[in-house]
C-alpha cells in the first residue's frame, strides 16, 4: 500500500509504480444490475472491473465508467494494491455513490484494493447497507501502510514529517464516512488485524469465521435445494455463528431443540417450511432461543428452485448467508463450490 506524503521524499512502498502500469477500469458490456435476492450468493454480475495496480488518477477513470452504469451496479476488483491515498479516495467515492464491490473467482484484492472492497454498499429504503461479495475462490488481503524511504540520511524534522504522515494516513481511513457508524464498513477489529501485517504479509479473509465477523458476503458456495440437505446440526451451527459465540446451541434434548414442519393442503409430502428453534443464547439464565425457518422462494408446489432461510429470536438482527452452516475455522477454499 503506497502512501504519498506531504514531503516528496517521505513515503514509498513495494507497489509504487510508473503511471503507465496504473489500473485499468472497464465497463462490462451487457452487464445487468446486481443479482436478485434468490441468486445473490451465487452470481457476481460485474458492471465494471478495476484491474491492476492503483495509482493517482484512477479515481477520475473510475468516475467516468461508474457514471455510465445502472443503479446498484457491481464494481469487480482484481488488484495487488498501490496508492494508499488514491485507494481511500476511491473508497470514499463508492460510499457516496452506493456502489457494490466484488472479488471474483481467481481474482486477488490486496492492500489499497481491500480498502476499496470494504466500501461496497447499496441503498435500501433510504438506508446505506454493506454490499461486498467475495467468491470462495477469490483472495482478499489487508496489510498496514508502511514506509520505504529511499537510501540516505534523514534529519529529525524529515523523520518527524514521515511519522506525522503515517498518523494522518490512518486517520483518513478511520474517517472514511463520518456520516455512518464506522464498524458497518471498516470495523475497529479489522483495523487492528490489518496493522499487525507488513508489506510482505497479509491478513486474509480466508475462513468462514472471518467472513462473518467482518460482514463479507461469500458467493460461489453450493447451496441446499432440498430440505433433507440441511440437517438440524447445520442449523445449530448457523445459530452459533449468528450469535457470534454468545452461547452454544443445545439440541441433545427435546427441550433444547424444537422442530416444526408445516405442510400445504396440496400434497401430504409438500412441506412448505421447517422451523427449528434452539435454546441457550443470550445472557439471561437458561439462554434465549434462536429460530431458523427454511422455506422455498415461491412456495408453490412443484416449482421449487431456491431455498431461503430466516433467523429470528436470539439472532434477529443477523443477515443470514449460507456459510453460517459451517464451522468458523472452515477455510473458504474448501467449501463445496456451486456447480461441483
pLDDT tens for the chain, 340 residues: list them.
654 443 332 233 333 333 446 789 988 876 544 444 444 545 688 999 999 999 999 999 999 998 888 766 899 999 999 998 899 999 999 988 889 999 999 999 999 999 999 999 988 777 788 999 999 999 999 998 876 667 778 888 888 887 787 777 788 888 776 566 556 788 889 999 998 988 888 999 999 999 999 999 999 998 888 888 888 889 888 888 888 767 677 665 444 455 555 544 344 445 667 888 887 776 554 567 788 888 875 544 444 456 778 888 777 677 788 999 999 999 999 999 886 5
Cβ contact 58:25 at 8 Å: yes
Domain boundary among 219, 251, 271: 219
Are 199 and 264 in the same domain?
no
Q: Look-up: residue for cell 425457518?
A: 293
14 within some domain: no
Are 165 and 231 in the same domain?
no
209 within some domain: yes
- DSSP, res 82: B
Are 108 and 214 in the same domain?
yes
8 within some domain: no
284 within some domain: yes
Q: Mapping DSSP to helix (H, G, I), strand (E, B) and coil, where does residue 312 land?
A: strand
Alpha helices in the chain (DSSP H): 58-66, 84-97, 112-118, 156-174, 188-194, 208-213, 232-242
For the chain, what is the domain count? Answer: 2
Domain boundary among 219, 235, 250: 219
Are 262 and 196 in the same domain?
no
Residue 142: which of 209, 214, 72, 94 has the closest Cα? Answer: 214
204 within some domain: yes
Are 253 and 142 in the same domain?
no
Are 137 and 158 in the same domain?
yes
Are 73 and 211 in the same domain?
yes
138 within some domain: yes
Cβ contact 217:133 at 8 Å: yes
pLDDT at 302: 43
Task: Copy the grid coordinates of residue 18.
Answer: 510508473
CA-atom Rg of the chain in angstroms: 23
7 within some domain: no
Question: Alpha carbon of 180 to those of 95, 129, 174: distances in Å?
Answer: 10, 10, 11
Domain boundary among 173, 197, 219: 219
Are 294 and 158 in the same domain?
no
- CA angle at residue 249 from 338 to 183, to 5 degrees? 70
- What global pTM score does this model have? 0.82
Residue 232: which of 257, 204, 202, 261 has the closest Cα? Answer: 257
Are 160 and 106 in the same domain?
yes
Are 213 and 232 in the same domain?
no
Domain with 31 in it: what CATH number?
3.90.226.10
pLDDT at 304: 47
Measure the N-to-C terminal CA separation of the chain; round to a whole number of Å.
36
Residue 217: which of 91, 121, 287 has the closest Cα? Answer: 121
Are 133 and 234 in the same domain?
no
Are 82 and 133 in the same domain?
yes
5 within some domain: no
The residue segments making up the domain with residue 69 are: 19-219
Q: Residue 301 — φ and ψ, nearest 5°? A: -65, 130
pLDDT at 311: 85
Amino acid at each position: 500500500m503506497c502512501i504519498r506524503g506531504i514531503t516528496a521524499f517521505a513515503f514509498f512502498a513495494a507497489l509504487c509504480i510508473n503511471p503507465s502500469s496504473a489500473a485499468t477500469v472497464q465497463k462490462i458490456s451487457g452487464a445487468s444490475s446486481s443479482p436478485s435476492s434468490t441468486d445473490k450468493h451465487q452470481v457476481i454480475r460485474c458492471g465494471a472491473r478495476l484491474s491492476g495496480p492503483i495509482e493517482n488518477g484512477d479515481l477520475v477513470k473510475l468516475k467516468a465508467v461508474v457514471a455510465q452504469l445502472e443503479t446498484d451496479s457491481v464494481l469487480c476488483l482484481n488488484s495487488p494494491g498501490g496508492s494508499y491515498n488514491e485507494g481511500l479516495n476511491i473508497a470514499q467515492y463508492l460510499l457516496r455513490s452506493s456502489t457494490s464491490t466484488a472479488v471474483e473467482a481467481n481474482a486477488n484484492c490486496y492492500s489499497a484494493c481491500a480498502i476499496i472492497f470494504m466500501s461496497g454498499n447499496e441503498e435500501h429504503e433510504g438506508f446505506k447497507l454493506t454490499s461486498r461479495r467475495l467468491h470462495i475462490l477469490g483472495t482478499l488481503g489487508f496489510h498496514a501502510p508502511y514506509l520505504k524511504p529511499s537510501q540516505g540520511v534523514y534529519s529529525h524534522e524529515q523523520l518527524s514529517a514521515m511519522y506525522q504522515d503515517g498518523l494522518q494516513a490512518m486517520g483518513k481511513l478511520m474517517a472514511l464516512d463520518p456520516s455512518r457508524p464506522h464498524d458497518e464498513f471498516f470495523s475497529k477489529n479489522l483495523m487492528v488485524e490489518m496493522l499487525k501485517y507488513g508489506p510482505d504479509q497479509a491478513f486474509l479473509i480466508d475462513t468462514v469465521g472471518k467472513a462473518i465477523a467482518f460482514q463479507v458476503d461469500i458467493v460461489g458456495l453450493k447451496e441446499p435445494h432440498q430440505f433433507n440437505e440441511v440437517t438440524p446440526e447445520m442449523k445449530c451451527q448457523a445459530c452459533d455463528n449468528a450469535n457470534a459465540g454468545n452461547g452454544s446451541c443445545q439440541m441433545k434434548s427435546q427441550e433444547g431443540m424444537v422442530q416444526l414442519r408445516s405442510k400445504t393442503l396440496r400434497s401430504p409430502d409438500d412441506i412448505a417450511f421447517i422451523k427449528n428453534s434452539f435454546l441457550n443464547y443470550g445472557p439471561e439464565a437458561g439462554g434465549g432461543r434462536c429460530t431458523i425457518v427454511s422455506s422455498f422462494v415461491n412456495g408453490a408446489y412443484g416449482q421449487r428452485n431456491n431455498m431461503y432461510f430466516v433467523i429470528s429470536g436470539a439472532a434477529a438482527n443477523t443477515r443470514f448467508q449460507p456459510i453460517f452452516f459451517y464451522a468458523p475455522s472452515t477455510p473458504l477454499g474448501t467449501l463445496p463450490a456451486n456447480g461441483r
